[in-house]
Structure 1
Amino acid sequence: MLPEPSINDNSIKSFPFNLTREKELAIFSELLDRNGSGILSIFGQPGTGKSELIIHYQREATRKEVVFYLVNAQYSKAEPAAFLQALLEQMGASNPYVSTLEAITMHIQHLEKQGKKFVIAIDSYERFETLDEWFRQSFLPSLPSTTILIFCGRKSLNDSWRASIWYPFIRSIELKGFSIGQFDSAFQTLAPELIKKAWQFSTGNPYALSLCVQKLQQTNEWNSNDEQSIYRTVVKEWLSELDDDRLLPYIEVASIGRYIQQEKIEVMLDHPMSRHDFEALVSLSFFEETESGWKLNALFQRAMRDDLQRRKPAYYHQLWKRALMYCRTFFDHDRLMDSSEISEFFYLLGEQMMQAAPFDPESLSTYSLSSASEKDWPHIEPYLAERSLTKDNQEYAFLTKEMIQAIGIQHVKLLRNREGNVTGMAFLIPIQSTTLPNLKRSPVTRSYFKRLPPVEEKRIMAVTKPSGWVIRYLGVTDSERSEDRKALLYHLLPLVLTEGILIASTPLTFYQKLLEQFRFKEVPEAKHFDYGPSRPSKTYELDLRNSRLPLYLESFAKAIGVNLTETPLDHYGFTPREKEVVTLVIQGYSNAKLADELSLSEVTIKKHLSRIYEKTGVKNRTQLTRVIIGGQVRT
């Protein structure tokens, strides 16, 4: 029997609680039991327990008398010769008379003659990415057909693997954080409130959870100093993925706000960024691509932001203000802001504004809100069954399946928590010609719409697109979870903030206060008792017609002392015409489009731009845009 391969202790993060990955262990056990080869691609963001899982795999292999070899790429150069030498050392089969590859081949042949299966596992494989082609073209073809390989790293195997002959043999396993249920059931020596605090702080990341538990075991209480210590450790661990500090300024920028794009980075740092650097940045394991742009892992983002605030507070504030000003540029575009831009704006303001409000944007950002489809009826129906109203001693269902089908199920929005479970529902009704008659006679909405002036009715009936939205229903699965209620409204508003009017009616004081927090105004004459004779319900409206949306959003910034309407335009002595030119340049207008918009010749436009460049000390429109958006930012 060959000796059990040694394991470098530096590669193992020991967790102070026992959480097994039963599903992942079952996949590996099945692979060991069957004949033939297989390739496992185990990947996950830092601290998700990849190395710990490899140790469990080794124990399972040993139990089944399968030889297990582990090479950690952290301690080997990304060169074929270095990898082969590390593997040979694990095998304990060095031979001074033959090459490393020949010695490995001879050892494998010896295992085959003995009828022994073996596993080759490579941990921290992201450091071996440059060897991808060598593994596919040279190393794998040299192995017997019964070989089991494990590639374990922060990222999944890339597209070149998917296009190769090895693709049918690859089984991918993504490791994610633990749910509160998993953690709570496995570690019960701490008080429940401390367990919940540790899980929320760590977002379920096993490594961060282990740091939290170790601190709590020592002090049995939670304090800000512990948070800072854990953040520093997390930042150090996750940044170990970088070969140098070249990308660090970009990561710092990415920690401000929820999403990042190349243009936003360039504006915030006031210098161009190469496409190569941007692709290198977002390929890091702690970045995730979304429809709105790329974003950092939530835990790492908080840790980076905390680290930046403490090390360079003035620089952090400059970046934060620059991010707000970048969002501000979208207010003046000749288009409606989309929901992701509005959501980003609220998120940025949240760092200061929400401290005095009943919102925690960090916690609420772990939720998601999306449109329902036909397959979601099982999630919707519980909300329909539980709700009814009384009028004239009769019961009326105030929200039915038929009502939703008539409007369209896509107008139902489902709130999901971190684990993907539905925890809340909202139902929206567009205000337009096809819905207005129903809104005027239906419970809850009739109190508002029956009092519409004729001219307003005529305007709504004359257009096909919505003139606004009615937030017809807001509900959560667990009425005791105030965080779910907050998340529902917090994520809903960016979806419906448009150049129109928003109507909401609720008997619940909780939601009334939230609506008022978002500047909704009560319509006293639209108060009603449609939810029951003992449940007076207020009706609210938010009027964003006639270009009021930018002013509405700016009012939140002004509430915390940030004036987003103040730009450098007044600081350079621009003439009124030059201000017009600068404003349009920022919006991306070409010289030809500027000339057409302002009824001037292109020659005149060029003269205006020359004077503008001279007054601002810039050389081109790109530099002008960066200066006007918020001034110079230097590290």
Structure 2
Amino acid sequence: MGKLSETLALERCRLFVGRDAEIAAAQQWIQNQNAPTEVLFISGIGGVGKSSLMMRIIDLTAQANQLAIWIDGRVCPETPAGFVEALFDSVKQNFGDLTHQTFSNKEIIQEIFKSKTLLCIDNYESIQMIDSWLREVFLPQLPATGLMVLLVSRKNLSEPWQHDLAWRSRVKHIALLPFIKQEVMLYLFRNGITKSVDTEQIFSETQGLPLALALTSEKLQQVGSHVWPLSLRINAELMREVTAPDLLETLELLCILPQATPEWLGRLLRTPLDADKLLKLSRISFVRPTADGFALHDVARYYLKEDMMRREPERVQSLRTRIVMELVQDIKSSDIHQRRKLTSILLSTCRDAFQINSVPIIPQDIEHMQMEAFQPSDLPHLMRILQDQDSLAVSIEKDLIVLQQLAEQFPECIRVYRSKETIPLAFCSGFHLYRETTAFHETFFPGMLEQAFPGEIEKMRTQSVEESNTYYHLLAGTSERDSDHTFWELMGIIIAEWLILYSAGLRLVMINTYEGLNGILFQLGYRMRPLTGLPEDHPFCHATIRELDWRDLDVGDRILELFGMKAPKSTSPLSKIIPDRAIKSALPLAEDPVRLEQTELAKILELSGIELQDTIQKLLWGDLIFPLDERMQQLLRLMSTIANLTAEIATKRLHVSRATYFRIRADALRVLKELLLLKCS
């Protein structure tokens, strides 16, 4: 994959057109050894070339031997803890898995950013709820020089970034525009399209949008410029036409998955992707690289998925079922932070399966019906929405005060869905329970959390936001004055917001007296219990606690149950779960059967110390057994003979780079687990 990445970088450089001022600004920062820390915010409509510009800046950073970190907001849990985990996961190739060592999060972050670094957050609009935490808590702890934060978003820069006096001088906002005519001509030339083309028509039809222009270019290269007329609009038929037949199945999978690694695609495809196919896939204009693999461009995914749902709904359902089953199996064998990411992908993949009486709870067009960050000008509209539905409130006066204070103290906790005329039609609000938010809640609703979580309240009152694992839904509402959306459509938008975006790896909690949504909440998997212990005159003394807990290991099975599916009862020994830590702690004890018998690995495999010792020694010192290769075996031997093996020692002994070492270690641990389970079955 290293050679592939170099090839792709060269191609991106050759085909890259325009954006001269933006590239110049990035180059100036890269070349300045004492460059101050700054934020470069890139925004623009879908298909305008945001991802291409981001990838070009990443390539320039890599060419300068500077660290580039890439986080995709679409698959990053929208919590501070989730963001930190995504950061650590992104830098494993450079630093190894630092989370398994005895460092605090703060020490690990300081280690990561001690050299000049580009931190890219793609699809930034997807993690707006932690916007203020990033701006006020996370970024201020990083160095004052040598860091560029590249935020890529469809939405424009939020007001807090614009009005924050401390950040104002360090923030640059670039709103990308479509190509001008000269750039369109240069793009066509670099793609080898130089004869018999009507550049005026191409410019007019594509409106200078890079994605539409790239699709047109691919079509012209296929059929020849003499074949007219061509459909130059972005549509599913054109995207299928410009895709090689042996990659069409891959496109179908990417319509359902928000993103996929090459390994994942290899598992799901009838014919695995080889290096040539991966290269062909990466060259398709509407397939974009991600931090973990590949994804369809948002615009392309919308058109292709809509078309596929219309033409082959049964095939879509069949593919989704296969994907869901694979995800559930991966969740069972994952560590906690991987589990959160996989749960997020699982919920996103099967969100349209949440139904009541065959009617989807979450709108099909949810990609284009998303909530946005709260703006101060929204507050009068949200207050009116609450007043219009005052029959649902325990105390409308209290709710109005809470909403007003929330807008002042925690504005990032309010999300708003607006009409085409930008009028708020629905909103939801809530926060992760930690020191500050728990105090806020107890100010207005004393005693509630103490009675709801008597064994946890003291921890909630002292923990930081990064330590919180509970999201508390506070207030929500929909407008009854809009004729373009039904009440249930607006409710679906709200549900998608808290279910898909906020829930991965968390417990969701809602406490109120309104019973009207119980049917939906049961369908979503909520469990309900009465709130007891409050005095009779307390407005919430007869309230219901509703909980949805995705923190457990069996989260995959529970999601399957919601859709009337059952996880396959595999008779394979691979259904057992062996954490990495169990292997790492057992290998150095391979010569000591007494201590080996006390290890977590022996308990999982249900083996005596002598039996486990014999099994390990045969795998490490005996003949190679596929898929264990010589280099993996060599590394496993090192791990068994050198306790607490460091990356520095391993790279010297194996004569490999750090990145290669971490790849070999991951493969070796995975293969050893499989072979141990097979031998012990």
TM-score relative to the length of structure 2: 0.47
Q: Which has the larger radius of gyration?
A: 1
**Greater RCO (CA < 8 Å, at least 6 residues apart):** 2
